[in-house]
Each structure stands twice: as C-alpha cells, then as structure tokens.
Amino acid sequence: MTDKQGRKADKYQKDVPEESAPAPSDSQTDDTQTVDLALQVQELTEALQRERADTINIRRRHEAQVTGLQSVVKAGVVRALLPVVDNFERALKHVPPDLEANDYIKGVQGIVKQFEKTLADIGVVKIKTVGELFDPRLHEAVSMEEGEGAQEVVSEELQAGYQLGDEVIRHAMVRVKTV
C-alpha cells in the first residue's frame, strides 16, 4: 500500500463508527480521574517517605562510620606515641638523686605530664593495675606468683596499659599473685 492509499484508508476509517462502550457521563469521568489522582498522590507520597527514610538511614550509617574511623585513627596515633611516653617515664625512674632538682629533669617531668593530660583530653584512660583483680581483657600476665588463695590479683605493673572507650589500646603488662 502506498502512502496515498494509506491516508485514504485512514480517512475512511474515521468515518466508520467505532463499536465501543457508551461514553461515560462527565461526572463519572471526573470521579474516576479524582480517584486515579488520589491513588497517584498516595503512591508518590509513600515513595517520597521511603526515600526520606533511606536518606536518614544513610546519614546515620555515615555518621557511625565516621565516628568509628575517628576512633580507629585516634587509637593508632596513641599506639604510636605510647613508646615515647614509656621511654620518658623509664628515664625519669633512673634519675640520680642529686639531679632530681635539676631544671632539665623538671622539664622532662613536665613533658610527661603534658603527654598524660593530652591523652586524657582525647579520652585515653590508663588501666588500673596494682591491687586490682587480674582481668585478661585488660592485663597481660608476664609472671605468676603462687600464694595461699585462689584469687588472682595484680602485684606489680611492668608496663602501663591504656584504653580508649571500651577498646583496649595496649594491655597492661603485670605480675600476678594469688591471694
């Protein structure tokens, strides 16, 4: 069929009455459209609420991840600085008695106090040791002294341990005695 014939066929088809259901009245059409629009509004509202909930969940998850990452980074920095603090403390333990009043020694003591304050400011806590019950989650027993009782108590601290919140950054190295 050529293009001209196709247009003629369309012309004749337009003249043929269509067999369809009777046309609904205007009020029925308006009611149907109103119901359709109400359903569409409801669907779109529900979709928007789901999207908002997803956005809120993504923000919460992101904030939790950022907080967790900050904690990991903080713990890593503290872990790297602890040997420096340990060496300062060891040096101060071996100061000869005649040099204890020396300004240089007082300066080193000030540095150690500043380190301790800075660690406390960021939430790092020194693990309690001497006199405390031995806790394998916090303490690392290097040696064990047998005593009379069945309770294991920390008798000496060999190296300080530190915690950041609930996370142990470094276990305290201790000697344990049963009492």
Contact 144, 155 (CB under 8 A): no
Percent of the chain whose pLDDT exceeds 70? 85
Query: Quick one: 96 exposed, middle or buried, by C-beta within 10 A (0-12, 13-18, 19+)?
Result: exposed
Contact 176, 145 (CB under 8 A): yes
Mean pLDDT to the nearest integer, 15-27: 54
What does the alpha-carbon distance between residue 117 and residue 120 come to, in Å, rounded to a whole number?
5
Give pLDDT tens digits for 47-95.
999 999 999 999 999 999 999 999 999 999 999 999 999 999 999 999 9
- Residue 97 pLDDT more than 60? yes
Residues 174, 70, 124: CA angle, nearest 5 degrees: 30
What does the alpha-carbon distance between residue 175 and residue 155 come to, in Å, rounded to a whole number?
6
Mean pLDDT to the nearest integer, 139-151: 90
What angle in degrees, to the nearest 10, is found between the helix axes of 103-121 and 26-93?
Answer: 160
Closest C-alpha among 161, 159, 81 to residue 127: 161
pLDDT top residue among 133 and 150: 133
Runs of H (alpha helix) within 94-162: 103-121
